[in-house]
Amino acid sequence: MAKREIKTNRAPKPLGQYSQGVISGNRIYVSGQYPVDSEKRGMPTGVAAQTRQVLTNVRNIIEAGGGKINNIIMCTIYLANLGDFNEFNTVYAEFFKAPYPACTIVGCVLNPGVLIEINAIAEI
């Protein structure tokens, strides 16, 4: 099965040898997104603002691939502090409605200043 790269100026450009997103068959795979605003080239502070920016980046990549955010079937969320879960979850609920995507949440060390990263899979 062939794969197609997704590129958009509405999300940060990759820093390495990976794509913002890839379409394969009826699926879109979105690489882990950091909370960087591609227009302002800045990063907000606080987990709520960073979550909002990350999910905006994910949505923009999915839309560039022909999908919608409600097409997401799986997210992996990486939190620098699992104690931020409730604040993250409040913002997450602004983007998703039932039936929610399947989800895995991982506590991990991220780059300095980065509190959250999210990757996603969408069925289109």
- Range 3-123 has CATH code 3.30.1330.40: yes
- Checking if the pLDDT of 40 tops 90, the result is no
Phi, psi of 38 (to 5 degrees): -65, -25
Phi, psi of 69 (to 5 degrees): -60, -30
Domain ranges of the chain: 3-123
Give 15's pLDDT tier (boundaries 50, 70, 90).
Answer: confident
State the pLDDT at residue 92. Answer: 98
Phi, psi of 11 (to 5 degrees): -150, 160
Tokens of 19: 């794509």
State the pLDDT at residue 9. Answer: 96
Q: Write out pLDDT tens, residues 44-96.
A: 999 999 999 999 999 999 999 999 999 999 999 999 999 999 999 999 999 99
CA angle 32, 36, 41 (to 5 degrees): 145
Phi, psi of 8 (to 5 degrees): -150, 145
